[in-house]
Amino acid sequence: MAKEIPDIIVGRLPRYLGVLKRMAQEGRQTTSSQELGERLGISAAQIRKDLSQFGEFGKQGTGYSIPYLIENLEAILHVNRVWDMVLVGVGDLGHAIARYQGFSDHGLRTAMIFDNDPKKIGQRVGNFIVQDSAELAEKVRQAGIKIAMITVPASAAQSVANELVKAGVKAILCYAPIVINVPPDVHVQYIDPVIHLQRMTYYLS
């Protein structure tokens, strides 16, 4: 792979993959850039151009084989394997994520959960026993975990992130409503409902 893929394209690939998997579940075998575009609200030309960055997956006149395209996208995104993840912060949201069933079949698996509240440590949540955050760095490094989800309060998020980086984590999904500082080789994504909601209130009278 000589060429650098723009991040904005990478960001669309999981969406393509998700729609394709749903189509596969519906029993579909082939699709076209046009149909994908309609389902996603993206132009057909854009989808073709995005996919063509990684190879020639389609056939003229026929379109794309859904299983074949899924297979290739999973390989591109490195989800043709299972990534263990660590969850830090077992409040209401952490609780929900710990029990979430939607990661399997997408190359992701919650492997361990941590909290620093003595009342929570040792308790069972979903299929997990809440472990002590004090042991986070050691346990995470030992397990070779590279992906983390942070659901602690904003005030604790940066120090948790520091621990995770120390433990060798390279990708963080942060639910705390702050920007965290990490080394350039660590990727961070944010999920904050307030941001999304305020983006929409702009358009409300």
Per-residue binding string, a copy of itself, 159-188, x by CB under 8 A, is -----------xx-x---xxx-------x-
Of 38-46, 57-65, 113-121, 159-167: span binding a copy of itself (CB under 8 A)? 38-46
Confirm if 48 and 34 have CB atoms less than 8 A apart: no
Q: How far apart are CA 155 and CA 161, in angstroms?
A: 11
Confirm if 13 and 69 have CB atoms less than 8 A apart: no
* 64 touches DNA (CB under 7 A): yes
Of 38-46, 74-82, 109-117, 179-187: span binding DNA (CB under 7 A)? 38-46
| Closer residue to a copy of itself (CB): 134 or 154 | 154
Confirm if 110 and 98 have CB atoms less than 8 A apart: yes
Strand locations in the chain (E) = 30-31, 58-59, 63-65, 83-88, 108-115, 124-125, 128-129, 131-132, 147-150, 171-174, 187-190
* 166 touches DNA (CB under 7 A): no
Confirm if 121 and 131 have CB atoms less than 8 A apart: yes
* 3 touches DNA (CB under 7 A): no
| Closer residue to DNA (CB): 32 or 162 | 32
Choose among a copy of itself, DNA, none what residue 68 binds, the Cβ cut-off being 5 to 8 Å by kind. Answer: none
With CA atoms as reference, report the closest residue to 52 among 29, 22, 77, 72: 72
| Closer residue to a copy of itself (CB): 143 or 171 | 171
Q: Which amino acid is at 169?
A: V
Choose among a copy of itself, DNA, none what residue 33 binds, the Cβ cut-off being 5 to 8 Å by kind. Answer: DNA
Q: Which residues in this chain contact a copy of itself in the complex, by CB under 8 A?
A: 10-11, 13-15, 17-19, 22, 39-41, 76-79, 83, 85, 91-93, 95-97, 99-100, 102-103, 106-108, 146-147, 149, 170-171, 173, 177-179, 187, 189, 191-205
Q: Which residues bind DNA (CB under 7 A)?
A: 6, 8-9, 32-34, 42-46, 48-49, 51-52, 56-64
